Amino acid sequence: MALGKRRRERQDTFWVTADKLSNGPRNVFYDRLNQLLAEIDFDGKLELAVEPFYQKMGRKCLPPGIYFRMIFIGYFEDISSQRGIAWRCDDSRSLARFLGYGPGESTPDHSTLSLTRERLPMEIHQFAFELILQATRDNGLLRGKTIGVDATDLEANASLKSIVRKDNGDDWRAYLKKLYEEETGKSDPSDDELRRFDKSRKDKKKVSNEQWKSETDPDARIGKMKDGRFHLKYKAENAVDLDTDVIVAAEIYHGDSGDTATIEDTVNTAKTNVDATDCDHNIEEVVADKGYHSEDCLDRLQNKTGMRTYIPEPHRSSKRKWKNKPEPVKESYRRNRRNTLGARGRKLQRKRSERVERTFAHLCETGGSRRTWLRGIEDVKKRYMSAAMAHNLGRIMRSLIGAGKPRHAALLAARAVSAFGSFFRILDRHNSEIIESTTDCWSASTQTGPISSKAQVRWSMTGDWA
């Protein structure tokens, strides 16, 4: 075989036949996902809902169904940035087919995604979330009785080098220079002198969100990440149906918001979303970890929203003091403690620690949502809510084809091919053993030599050597 060489200059084909345009690489997962979205009339309902936000005449914009599909691709392919999503869609013909583009058409650019996201308000994203949540209910994947609530940190698209003082707008170097001049009486320090001065300060190196803000993303807050680094961040909080792993609420808050201050809003949002699907059950039980435990929080959840809480109490070094506490607060605390220490409470805590954390693993670790490339709490919430929609679609796909992501579907297909190959190899080996044993018996009875392979096959199938 001769060596093949790649041609440096190649002339493109002038004519392309119609069969080559229609036939192309297909992806079973995305084809079935398109079929699912068509069954719930995802595109038609969205286009009808977004009509008030567009002009009647003019250049056609990006359809909302394609916009959301591209964000779904970011979740399924683990791509965090819009530039990466646009490049991946333009590079893959199967993804272009999923979006509805032919081989000769270009997929949308990342700037088109940004313009579409800015035009579509939060109400449209909420409407799309409810459409997919309704689809989970129609496929029997929404119970809506017991939810688990937990939060995680998202890294903001801003650096600590961009923080400035809220009172006068000084950056870190200008602030440090003023401190240096006040303490030493010297002016115009060099960068090395400022660096040594900053290292020598022991008790004044802390920065607070009350005094500092990011100049590039004012909604981001300074905080400690899961890996111990201090960074500008947001807080993502999920409410998950503990029976089916479906996300019923995906909220974004400022990075310095406490758990006890946000759980009530998340539960109310989850209740509104579940009620919009006409589910058979209403949310009755809320399960969370000990970070959400406080007397006021328990009182609000039980007496205002009417929920039954399962929130464990953190370890305390001293006894609790109930002086000047109203009786309803005491009763809410005792009721929650009885619920948590019971057998059902312990069972629900195990389910919460498994299933709610699993949604964060899908969204943040393998879904491209841990690092946000958008700025502003509203844009971050739109992107995170869209990733939660894709997660719920993955739950439906898992119930339909056994795979919730395209990589899992490809792995199942490879295993099926391997299993069929092993089956046919075993069958071929078994048939060979039957033919050999039959040949030996016939040769011994007739005292003749070996026979041809065609005769062996004829005898194994018909029993006739003629």
Confirm whether 227 is domain-assigned.
Answer: yes
Q: Is residue 124 part of a domain?
A: no
Q: Which of 214, 229, 259 is the last residue of a domain?
A: 214
d(C-alpha 26, C-alpha 32), whole Å: 11
**Rounded to an integer, what distance in angstroms lies between the CA atom of residue 124 and that of residue 50?**
7
Within this chain, do residues 33 and 170 fall inside the same structural domain, yes or no? no
Does residue 294 sit within a domain?
yes
* One domain for residues 330 and 232: yes
Residues 198 and 96 in one domain: no
- Asked whether 209 and 166 are in contact (CB, 8 A), the reply is no
Domain membership of residue 396 (yes or no) is no
Q: Are residues 29 and 103 in the same domain?
A: yes
Give the three-state DSSP class for 335: helix
CA angle 303, 308, 310 (to 5 degrees): 125
Q: Which of 285 and 198 is assigned the larger pLDDT?
A: 285
Residue at a domain's end among 333, 355, 376: 376
Q: Which of 39-43, 154-158, 448-452 has the lowest mean pLDDT?
A: 448-452
Are 178 and 227 in a shared domain?
no
pLDDT, average across residues 34-39: 94
Lowest mean pLDDT, pick from 119-133, 336-350, 365-379, 413-427: 413-427
Residue-wise pLDDT tens digits, 248-267? 999 999 999 999 999 999 99
Q: Are residues 154 and 164 in the same domain?
A: no
In a domain, 283, yes or no: yes
Q: Give the side-chain half-sphere CA count within 13 A for 40.
A: 22
- Model confidence pLDDT, tens digit, residues 104-138: 788 999 999 999 999 999 999 999 999 999 999 99
Rounded to whole angstroms, the Cα distance separating 100 from 78 reads 21
**pLDDT tens, residue by residue, 220-244:** 999 988 888 889 999 999 999 999 9
Is the pLDDT assigned to residue 33 strictly greater than 70?
yes
- Count of the separate structural domains present in the chain: 4
**261 in the same domain as 340:** yes
Cβ-based neighbour number of residue 307 at 10 Å = 20
Tell me whether residue 101 is in a domain: yes
Our CA dihedral for 447, 452, 456, 459, rounded to 10 degrees, sits at -70
Q: 109 and 178 share a domain? A: no
- Residue 432 shares a structural domain with residue 457: yes
Q: What is the mean pLDDT of residues 281-290?
A: 92
- Same domain? For 174 and 151 the reply is no
366 or 324, which is more confident: 366
Confidence of residue 1 (pLDDT cuts 50, 70, 90): very low
pLDDT of 181 reads 85
- The answer to whether position 389 is within a domain reads no
Instruction: Quote the domain boundaries for residue 249.
Output: 142-158+219-315+323-376
| Residues 70-80 pLDDT 10s | 999 999 999 99
Which of 177, 194, 214 is at the close of a domain?
214
Task: Indicate whether 371 and 267 sit together in one domain.
Answer: yes
- If asked whether residues 203 and 240 sit together in one domain, one would say no
Helix (H) or strand (E) holding 353: helix 343-360
Question: Cα(first)–Cα(last) distance of the chain, in Å?
Answer: 44
Query: Concatenated DSSP letters for 152-211?
Result: EEEE-S--GGGEEETTT--BHHHHHHHHHHHHH---S--HHHHHHHHHH-SSS----TTT
Distance between CA atoms of residues 257 and 342, nearest Å: 30
Q: Which of 280-294, 337-351, 412-426, 448-462 has the lowest average pLDDT? A: 448-462
**Assigned token pair, 319:** 């006894």
Residue 460 has pLDDT above 50, yes or no: no
36 in a domain, yes or no? yes
